[in-house]
Amino acid sequence: MGPDELGARLVALAGDGASASVSFAEVTVDVPREAWVATVTAARDDPALGLSSFDWLSAVDELEDGFDVVLHLFSVEHRHRALLRTRVPRSDPRLPSLVGIFAGAGWHERETAEMFGLVFDGHPHPAPLLLPDGFAGHPLRKDFVLASRVAKEWPGAKEPGESHTGATRRRMRPPGVPDDWGPATEPAPDRPARRDRPGRPGVAAPGGATRADRLAPTRAAGPADAAAAEAPPEPGPPEARDE
């Protein structure tokens, strides 16, 4: 069964409001929230589909449009796969749990609930999974403020969004962070131009002489010059000594 046939079969099982699309030879079927459990059950039990292997479940924050819950299933018998997707509104992010259909969905639903703030009705153990006790917020929501990105300077060579054309580096506020949140963001102090910094060849140091000028006599002197400087003076003529 090809992706188009697979999508058409899943749409027929899901009923009104379902649609399918194929991209890169993979089928994605959008299912209404109220038909979520029934469609997943039919995908598992239908002999022509045989999507009985649970792979993973997660979500995507679509901002004002709500959250997309995505489920990936695979058929060991037919060697095909399908992506089932449903949308829940931001004002009521609830969805029936799939643990009664796929026991492996329990861990994935706990993670998705914790990271996105969704509620899976009927989950047998909806306890926090990854975050420490007392953690406030849901880190994978797009409106979640990344506090560490404001409190700690970005360690990269350039800030995200900074020009690579040689513009002066400055700390930039991460996207989505309110202007009045965290420490103030100020440009870094300008560094002196290279020609104004002392201690480099060809650059005038205090006193007017360049480093190259100061090192020139040392570099010009060779072994013969050093030996001549250490040799005793030759005796002059007797007349000069008597005088």
Length of the chain: 243
Q: What is the pLDDT of residues 175-211, one digit of tens each?
A: 556 666 655 555 555 555 555 555 555 555 455 555 5
pLDDT at 143 over 70: yes
Q: From CA 185, how far away is CA 217, in angstroms rounded? A: 50
Strand-pair partners of 96: 121
Q: From CA 38, how far away is CA 135, in angstroms rounded? A: 35
Mean pLDDT of 59-78: 96
Mean pLDDT of 61-78: 95
- State residue 135's pLDDT score: 85
Mean pLDDT of 24-50: 95
3 state SS of 82? strand
Distance of CA 140 to the CA centre of its chain: 12
Residue 175 belongs to what H/E stretch? none
**Strand residues in the chain grouped as ranges (E):** 19-23, 26-30, 53-61, 67-75, 80-88, 94-96, 119-121
On average, the pLDDT of the chain sits at: 79
3 state SS of 54? strand
Q: What is the pLDDT of residues 85-140, one digit of tens each?
A: 999 999 999 999 999 999 999 999 999 999 999 999 999 999 988 988 888 889 99
Q: From CA 163, how far away is CA 25, in angstroms rounded? A: 38
User: Are 122 and 105 contacting, i.e. CB atoms less than 8 angstroms apart?
Assistant: no
